[in-house]
Amino acid sequence: MARKLSFRGAINEALRQEMERDKTVILMGEDIAGGTNAPGEQDAWGGPLGVTKGLQPIFGPDRVMDTPISESAFIGAAIGAATSGLRPVAELMFVDFMGVCFDQIFNQAAKFRYMFGGKAQTPVVIRCMIGAGFRAAAQHSQCLYPIFTHIPGLKCVVPSSPYEAKGLLAAAIRDNDPVMFFEHKLLYDVEEDVPEDPYTIPMGEANIVREGSDVTIVTLGRMVSLSKDAADLLAKDGIEAEVIDLRTTSPMDIDTVLESVENTGRLVVVDEAHPRCNIATDVSAQVVQNAFGALKAPIKMVTAPHAPVPFSPALEDLYIPSPEKIAAAVREVHAYA
Amino acid sequence: MTDAIQSVVMPKWGLAMQEGTLTEWHISEGDTIAPGQEICDIETSKIANALEATISGTVKRLVAKPGDTLPVGALMAVVVNGDVSDAEIDAFVKKFEDEFAELMAKAEASAPKAQSVEIDGRKINYLQMGQEGPAIVFIHGFGGDLNNWMFNQPNLSEKHRTYALDLPGHGASGKAVGDGSFAMLSGTVVKFLDAVGIDKAHLVGHSLGGAIAIAVAQAAPAKVASLTLISPAGLGSEINMDYINGFIGAQRRNDMKPVLSMLFANPELVTRDMVNEVLKFKRLDGVEDALKAISGSVFAGGKQANLLRDALAAVSVPVQIVWGTEDRILPVSHADGLGGNVTVTRAPNVGHMAHMEIASEVTKLIETAAAS
């Protein structure tokens, strides 16, 4: 039976159900319980935005571990535990802090299966928060999934809604490769119908969230709902946009994108990440290489500017792609003769 | 007189429906309407269907215009009995719109919600609508769920206690089905009748659910008042295994859409949302194994394993069968040569889903059976 659940609640439920299903699933991170083994309340925090709240009382401090404030240490420990039989889900708060543990992720976790000739596996999931709009300034607001998408050996998931988050996280935890799981902060309070039963959404399968025959919009994460809003605006002017949620950037389901572009001939890619070497450039390059003949207009990208996320609320609002900006790009591509 | 003015509102078809789009009125201002008359076409994100009137009177005002998308419960038309002035209608419309938000909040709170009972250690999910009158129990087919009856159950619930259940392995019921045998499925329905306190019910079964209804009538004849069977299984050995295996195997939209298209005479009825809902069901843990177990048991070797023609002939209560002549899953010829108490309606230009494709006709047939 489906009932309304928030993005935050959906992630919490996926963690709980996977921990019930498989005793080797453990959680690690800074303040994910917020008090474990300290005097007083044991589940004070549940992570900085309360996503893991309530799990420590169910599974205990051995499976829900508060770690020291040392990303290089606990991400390394999670990867090590994954190579020796556990399925850790490590929470690294903000993706902006990844810099201190790149070696563990890029050069260790991502390489083990390859360098040990397929004999090693690293079933770790690293969860983190992404995205602007939270008034958290330049060091807590980036969308750095393109950096991880660049690395062979990592899988990258950017969920767009509560239903998507629950099924994709369950799939990530059951996967035998390292998976980066990027949660947009502004989605945590978004609600929709989510089944109570556990389920998985396969990685590498894009989702057509709206059908249309005039222009294809390819997007991911929080930009999916903004792109749907843009499509609603455009529909009033008789422009039918098809909106594709990539769901995962690695593996990427480029076939669904190509099929749509072959039908519409026009493409807008919407990505909240900085515009250089991001998912929009990647999708654009693959479409140009594989479906050049189908294109009736130049591809347009709608992204944040190549600049740090501003602290000024007025500037931050301007920085993020909006339905109006997306609709304007679609109109331009649509009008191109 | 307050009830001299009545409203036609946006219906709620299925638990998930939030809004619908009026595509066409079949009535004009000044027309007289009667219950059961199709008054307009409505499209939801899942499917399009005609709305039947549940009231009678003169259509005084069409508030909604074709193309309007309205929330469930929103006013679409005003119907009157006797002399009512325009001013009174204006006041009615204004009052309705002023009170709409509050009304909807109340309706939301009292809306029927799915419930569950435990049978043989397995959760069985069901939706009850209507508290009084004879009981009607709806049994869906392979891969279906209780929402398959969304066009039939609400109307019938006005004068009947209606129950639509999710079979084991389906919908929100438990997904562990063991050997997936036909006896387990029909046994569950017999126990369901006891579990929810039904002494006697009119059974409505579709496809595999039709065969289950026959088996229930055979096993517990005292509990069954009539049978309405829509493209039932169990009356011949043929079954389109391309559909069954396609349904089990399809993981993606592009694979699932052609499979679901086999169900309907008009493949355009298969919408993006319908495909997505089916994929959502199929992604639940345990569903693929459940469907494989059931299919491996009831369609072993690509044939229907349970032939119930003799059992059906022995049923002493009224039996009616509705079968679309364009059914591509189970051939309409399986309805030939059935004697006894069986009435057969062969519906032209209808596929395997008569209860959705010609919903109002099927609802009327069920109502007639339940009235006798």
Q: What residues of A are annotated to the active site?
A: 140
* DSSP-assigned letter for residue A292: G
Average pLDDT, whole number, for chain B? Answer: 92
CATH classification of the domain holding A324: 3.40.50.920
pLDDT digits (tens, 9 = 90+) for A178-212: 999 999 999 999 999 999 999 999 999 999 999 99
Is there a single domain that holds both residue A256 and residue A191? no
Q: How many domains does chain A have?
A: 2
What's the CA gap between B181 and B168, in Å, rounded? 11
- Sorted by where each starts, the structural domains of chain B and their CATH numbers stand as 2-110 (2.40.50.100), 115-371 (3.40.50.1820)
Cα-Cα-Cα-Cα torsion A301, A303, A306, A311, nearest 10 degrees, comes to 160
- Whether A240 is in a domain gets the answer yes
- Asked if pLDDT for residue A158 goes beyond 90, the answer is yes
Nearest residue of B to residue A171 by CA position?
B283
Whether A233 and A148 map to the same domain: the answer is no
Of A169, A195, A221, which residue constitutes the final position of a domain?
A195
Domain end position, chosen among A195, A217, A249? A195
Nearest Cα to Cα of residue A260 among A308, A224, A211: A211
Same domain, A185 and A219: no
Amino acid in the structure at residue B296: G
* One domain for residues A235 and A189: no
A214 and A191, same structural domain? no
Write the pLDDT tens digit of every residue in B208-241: 999 999 999 999 999 999 999 999 999 999 999 9
Lowest-pLDDT range of A13-17, B30-34, B285-289: B30-34
Picking from B172, B175, B283, the nearest residue to A200 by CB comes out as B283
**What is the per-residue pLDDT for A210?**
93
Q: Where are the beta strands (DSSP E) in chain B?
A: 5-9, 19-25, 32-33, 38-43, 48-52, 57-62, 69-71, 75-80, 115-119, 122-129, 135-139, 161-165, 201-206, 224-230, 319-324, 342-347
Q: Using a CB-CB distance cutoff of 8 angstroms, which residues of chain B are in contact with residue A200?
A: 283, 285
User: Which CATH number characterizes residue A135's domain?
Assistant: 3.40.50.970
For residues A149 and A264, membership in a common domain is answered with no
Please give, rounded to a whole number of angstroms, the shortest distance from the CA of B200 to a CA of chain A.
27
Q: List own/partner pairs for B32-37 with CB under 8 A and 24 or more apart.
A: B32/B56, B32/B57, B32/B58, B32/B59, B33/B57, B33/B58, B33/B59, B33/B79, B36/B360, B36/B364
Question: With contacts defined as CB-CB under 8 Å, which chain B residues touch A205?
Answer: 251-252
Contact B36, B80 (CB under 8 A): no
Instruction: Choose the final residue of a domain: A137, A169, A195.
Output: A195
A168 and A211: one domain? no
Structural domain contains residue A285: yes
Within this chain, do residues A123 and A215 fall inside the same structural domain, yes or no?
no
Which residues does A138 contact at the CB level (< 8 Å), separation at least 6? A308, A309, A310, A311
- Kindly tell me if the per-residue pLDDT of B46 is higher than 80: no
Q: What CA–CA distance (Å, rounded) separates B81 from B56? A: 8
How many CA within 13 A on the CB side of residue B66? 9
* Chain centre to alpha carbon of residue B138: 7
A126 in the same domain as A57: yes
pLDDT at B3: 65
pLDDT at A231 over 70: yes
Q: What is the band of A1 on the pLDDT scale with cuts at 50, 70, 90? A: low
Domain match, A158 and A46 both? yes
Minimal-distance CA residue of chain B relative to A197: B284
**Domain of residue A188, residue span:** 2-195
Are A159 and A226 part of one and the same domain?
no
The reply to whether A46 and A84 lie within a common domain is yes
Residues A90 and A126 sit within 8 Å (Cβ to Cβ): yes
The Cα–Cα gap between B10 and A30 comes to 50
Q: Which of B114, B252, B285 is opposite residue A1, by nearest beta carbon?
A: B114
Q: Report the gap between the CA of B285 and the closest CA in chain A (Å).
A: 5
ipTM, two decimals: 0.85
In the predicted model, is pLDDT for residue B2 greater than 60?
no
pLDDT band at B1 (very low <50, low <70, confident <90, very high): very low
A90-144 residue pLDDT tens: 999 999 999 999 999 999 999 999 999 999 999 999 999 999 999 999 999 999 9
Q: What is the pLDDT averaged over residues A281-289? A: 98
Structure tokens at A125: 């999931």
